[in-house]
Amino acid sequence: MIPHFTLASGSLVSYLFYVPPGSPIYAGDVIVVDDNVRNLRFFAKVTEIESAKESAPVPPCTIKITAYPLGFVDEKTIFHPPRTTPTTGSAIRYPTTDDLTFLTRIMGEIEIGKMRSGMGLLEEVPISLHARILTQHMGIFATTGMGKSNFMKVLAASVMRDQPFGLLLIDSHGEYVTGLREADGTVHYGLLHYKKKRENLSVFSVRSDDIIARNRLEKLSLSYHNFLATDLELMYPLNHAQQEVTFSLLPYPGEDIIDFFMNEDVESLPSSMKTTAYLGNHPAIVHRLRSLKPDALRVIQRHIEDLIKRCQLFMTEETSSVQAIVQKLFQKKVVLIDIPQISEQGELFIVAVITRAIMDACKKRAIEGPDTRQVLIAIEEAQRVLGENSVGAQIFRELIMEGRKFGVGVCAITQQPKNIDRHLLAQMNTSVIMGLSDQYDRQIMATSAKQDLTKMMIEIQTLGQGEAIISTLGIPFPVSAKIHHYESYIDKLNQE
């Protein structure tokens, strides 16, 4: 008979062993295989649990366990990928804190939680991500209610504490600034509750002057000059003729475009077939547009009028916060754009304008000489601008494909990874999977993460609120984590 908790068989892709039925072992448990013959310690993660067959060479009423190899540690406690397998008959046990010392040594600087093993926590093993890897693009993938807002606040607090890079957050629900109080009285902290590092947070808001003054926020404003005609493609469906209008307007300043369409009647534009003189303020624009379809011009005019109306809380003719936002990010601060009650079109416009300014500034900075400052841009509902058929999203595609060269990364947050362009999804070097209800979404993430997660499909399917599987280049194998409860984390940070 094969004794319990000894390796029955092993290969480079799986380990097999047996345990008695009363053993507290669960999918996702990390186990250690002590190979005393070779003086190596192997690590694996439980992926399948089933009843052993009656014909199995083990005691009756036994549970069969399959585990996925993670790697091994040699005599010098150096971790290696699973390029060999332990000796049959090696003892199997649960890990101790000392066993995982190699892991704590290679963690990064941005703490987000504790290591999870099955149903339990390894309290002495913090999960901390590498700043240099995060700015090479990351994705947060979670169904509603699984804890992605809590994760983003924990991430922001850790960035406020250590300032490894600048972090841009867009809050369209008003939950990140002062927090929220639920109907049952439960209080959810905002970033302002991290009082000890308040100076590392800058908030640009569209709220009332009274709230802005009381909480030491800054007024968000975008000027007409920040506008590009192609921004309309993000916010409105445009046909080919209308897109031709927006591309024709690219050489002209935003303030001139808006002034023309807001104050002059496109119905009266002189035809390209007529010699009628134009007496308005924008002859160059008129010369460019006069040969285009009048119906398309009228649609663009309506869209610009609608844009100005939707964005009246922050859109001005001259004043702009954009350069101040970029400078705060270069100072490695968390910059929060607080825009509750702003329409989705207005939100996309704001994100596009600020992203474009960051990219332009970073490109200019790269030309002037080496600069180690980095920026991470978080984009909620990222499938809107990173989908295969996302129209007008060129600035975001440029951010994904070229941003890392200039020290700019994207943090794509979505409930629907299947709707992200596969080529863009493949560019993300860090994936935080926090529970996905759709089977296809789970399969997409299991195969597109930088580390193979296909053996962890059961664990991904059973993730609870606040639990995550993290695949990143900075950690040698996918780790399971329990993300810090934000309120408890902030109380701890304020006492440090």
Place of tokens 């002059």: 264
pLDDT at 447 (0 to 100): 87
81-102: average pLDDT: 94
Q: Which residue has the higher pLDDT, 211 or 373?
A: 211
pLDDT at 275 (0 to 100): 45
**Which residues are 315's β-sheet partners?**
222
Return the number of other C-beta atoms located less than 10 Å from residue 259's C-beta.
17
Strand spans (E) along 74-109: 79-80, 91-93
Distances (CA, A) of 418 to 440, 447, 453, 491: 7, 12, 16, 37
**Which residues are 180's β-sheet partners?**
188
CA-CA distance, 363 to 483, in Å (whole number)?
A: 35
Residue 210 buriedness (CB in 10 A; 0-12 / 13-18 / 19+): exposed
**Tens of pLDDT, residues 336-379:** 999 998 988 899 999 999 999 999 999 888 777 777 789 999 99
**Tens of pLDDT, residues 130-174:** 999 999 999 999 998 899 999 999 999 999 999 999 999 999 988
* SS3 per-residue string spanning 93-141: ECCCCHHHHHHHHHCCCEEEEEEEECCEEEEEEEEEECHHHHCCCEEEE
Separation of first and last alpha carbons in the chain: 55
Q: Is 64 left (phi over 0), alpha (psi -120 to 50) or beta?
A: beta
CA-CA distance, 227 to 231, in Å (whole number)?
A: 7
**Tens of pLDDT, residues 219-259:** 999 999 999 999 999 889 999 999 999 999 999 999 999 99
**Tens of pLDDT, residues 256-308:** 999 999 888 776 665 543 445 555 788 889 888 888 888 999 999 999 999 99
Give buried/exposed letters for 116-145 (b at 16+ CB in 10 A, else e).
Answer: bbbeeebeebbbbbbbbbbbbbbbbbbbee
Which H or E element spans position 369? none
Return the number of other C-beta atoms located less than 10 Å from residue 257's C-beta.
21
Pair 280, 247: CB distance under 8 Å: no
Place of tokens 């009246």: 312
pLDDT at 273 (0 to 100): 39
Strand spans (E) along 162-312: 166-171, 180-181, 187-188, 201-205, 218-219, 222-223
CA-CA distance, 19 to 64, in Å (whole number)?
A: 7
Nearest CA-CA partner of 141 in 364, 430, 353: 430
**Tens of pLDDT, residues 66-87:** 999 999 999 988 999 999 999 9
**Tens of pLDDT, residues 43-71:** 999 999 998 888 877 777 789 999 999 99
Pair 68, 47: CB distance under 8 Å: yes
Q: Which residues are CB-neighbours of 77 under 8 A, at least 6 positions away?
A: 101, 102
**Tens of pLDDT, residues 394-424:** 889 999 999 998 999 999 999 999 999 988 8
**Tens of pLDDT, residues 431-466:** 999 988 889 999 999 888 888 898 888 899 889 999
Measured torsion, CA atoms of residues 370, 371, 372, 378, in degrees rounded to the nearest 10: -130
DSSP 165: S
Return the number of other C-beta atoms located less than 10 Å from residue 448's C-beta.
18
pTM of this prediction? 0.91
Q: Given pLDDT bands bounded at 50, 70 and 90, which one contains residue 193?
A: very high
CA-CA distance, 371 to 348, in Å (whole number)?
A: 29
List, in order of start, the domains of the chain with CATH numbers. Answer: 7-97 (2.40.30), 110-220+321-495 (3.40.50.300), 225-310 (no CATH)
Range name among 120-124, 179-183, 187-191, 482-486 with the lowest pLDDT average: 179-183
* DSSP-derived 3-state class of residue 237: coil
**Which residues are 467's β-sheet partners?**
482
